[in-house]
Structure 1
Amino acid sequence: MAIQLTSAARQRMQDFLAREPSAVGVRFGIKRTGCSGFGYTVDIANVVAENDQVFEQDGLQILVDRKALPFVDGTEIDFQRQGLNASFVFRNPNATGECGCGESFTVDAAG
């Protein structure tokens, strides 16, 4: 089980964490949303919850709720800039489909 960050995503997250001295890491998860079912969430985490799975990459902690882990296990998170836009990009091997705008995804019901 793992969540991987590209160097661009890691740097972007470290920049955010540098402004939050009480932060312990970054919380990565999902929520029900969008036209395809689930959307990704990326937030600053101030505590490690009891049900968190903690991944570490180059000193950066990534916290994932164990209930969300089957949906995002193996995901690579990247950070890309295109013109004036910048966003995290998720390469999730568990996603069986995505909406046209890329904001939400589906997973196989058996997963």
Structure 2
Amino acid sequence: MALRERPKAVSLTDAAAARVKSIMSDREKGFLRVGVKNGGCAGMEYVMEYVEAPEALDERVADKGVEIVLESKALLFLLGTEIDYETTALHSKFVFNNPNQTDACGCGESVTIIPVKEA
């Protein structure tokens, strides 16, 4: 019996995958790591950083030809999130479409996220 593929913790849009490919092509090795941290007026902020290798409990996600790493302690806050990359006349940035996000500050730099409850 074949095992079904496990659902991805997060997904990337085509635009986000293209941007990750672009920024990682300049690096010889490593990963883009996504997480959250306490901060901002709404309570939490999304963070992205370069790492040489995932930590032992980090979640590796492959989608649309790229691989990113999710910080283990942020996983319950990020489940179901779609990461997009948006370009307008005034800015270019990654955008997190997170079903667990309940609020955001006026400037859009911080969010309120409720972790997924265990089933």
TM-score, scaled to structure 1: 0.90
CA separation of 1:110/1:13 partners in 2, compared to 1, >3 Å: closer, same or farther?
A: closer
Q: Larger strand proportion, structure 1 or 2?
A: 1
Q: Find the aligned partners of 1:110 and 1:64 in 2 and give their Cα distance.
A: 15
Query: What is the RMSD computed on CA atoms of the aligned residues?
Result: 1.7
- State the identity as a percent: 36
User: Structure 1: 5+ residue runs without aligned partners?
Assistant: none
TM-score, scaled to structure 2: 0.84
Report if the CA contact (8 A) 2:14-2:64 is conserved: no
**Which ranges of 4 or more aligned residues in structure 1 deviate by more than 4 Å?**
none
Q: Find the aligned partners of 2:85 and 2:108 in 1 and give their Cα distance.
A: 14
Q: Find the aligned partners of 1:69 and 1:109 in 2 and give their Cα distance.
A: 8
Report if the CA contact (8 A) 1:95-1:106 is conserved: yes
Choose the corresponding residue for 2:91, options 85, 91, 100.
85
User: Structure 2: 5+ residue runs without aligned partners?
Assistant: 1-7
Q: How many residues align?
A: 110
Any residues of structure 2 matched to 1:21-100 within 5 Å, and which? 21-23=28-30, 25-100=31-106
**Structure showing greater Rg:** 2
